[in-house]
Chain A
Amino acid sequence: MIRVQREDFDPGAELARLTAGNTAIGGICLFVGLVRDFMGEAAALGDEVRGMTLEHYPGMTERQLEAIEAEARRRWELEGTLVIHRHGRLEPGDRIVLVAAASAHREAAFQACHFLIDWLKTKAPFWKVEHTAAGDHWVEARASDETLAGRWEG
């Protein structure tokens, strides 16, 4: 299941919903991404981030997330998957994204969860504007994210 929403989500409640009634599940791997309070690679080097606004492409976002989820379910034996991505204004510490994969066995859950977030980061049409003391700026895509996503190719 995928959801694109402005509102926050409760990871515990989402996890409970994902596993409810399915006793074939032996493990769930769940990743939650948060808004950091600094730009760049390290807190000491970066400018303080006061918040960010996430823009997306309604329609294509859902379409791409569904394709990523379907690909995960094709590659691993999964009992359940969940992707939630927020948009709009977010503050440091806020949850941005949740991906979860449930499987009979932990290895599929770990790998599928990792795959979901790696592909989401390079394929789902979201863009971040960071709000700093020096002004607003669009976050640039990182080559390292492409490298991380690339390990799942082939």
Chain B
Amino acid sequence: MKVLYFAWLRSKVGIGEEEVAPPPEVSDLGALVAWLKTRSPGHAAALADMAVVRAAVNQDYAGLDHPVKAGDEVAFFPPVTGG
């Protein structure tokens, strides 16, 4: 599973992209967030308040109950500010 971080989340995690293999019980975005937060203090800081984080699975917006599986591309980022 590929996980991407953008904007200030990337700064906090310290990397923009990583390949991860969470255990099988990590089957939705919420569980993935909880598991990622155990990987480093940077991950924990970036994902501390999910109210200010948006997520996408395979390049579409997704809520915390969205399923995730091996091979997915998951991204975490702040609310968008383009235009």
Contacts and interface: CB of A to CB of B under 8 A. Distances in A.
Q: Do A and B bind each other?
A: yes
Interface of A: 33, 54-57, 59-60, 63-64, 85, 96-97, 117, 120-129, 138-141
B49 to A, nearest CB: 13
Nearest to A60: B59
A7 B50 CA distance: 34
A128 B77 CA distance: 12
A33 B83 contact: yes
B83 A57 contact: no
Contacts of B78: 127, 138, 140-141
Q: Is the interface of A mostly helix, strand, loop or mixed?
A: mixed
A97 B82 CA distance: 9
B79 interface: yes
Given A125-B56, A127-B6, A138-B7, A57 B82 contact: no
A111 B8 CA distance: 34
Interface residues of B, number: 16
Nearest to B10: A55
Nearest to A126: B82
A132 B19 CA distance: 35
B60 interface: yes
A139 B77 CA distance: 13
Contacts of A55: 6-7
A60 B82 contact: no
A128 B75 contact: no
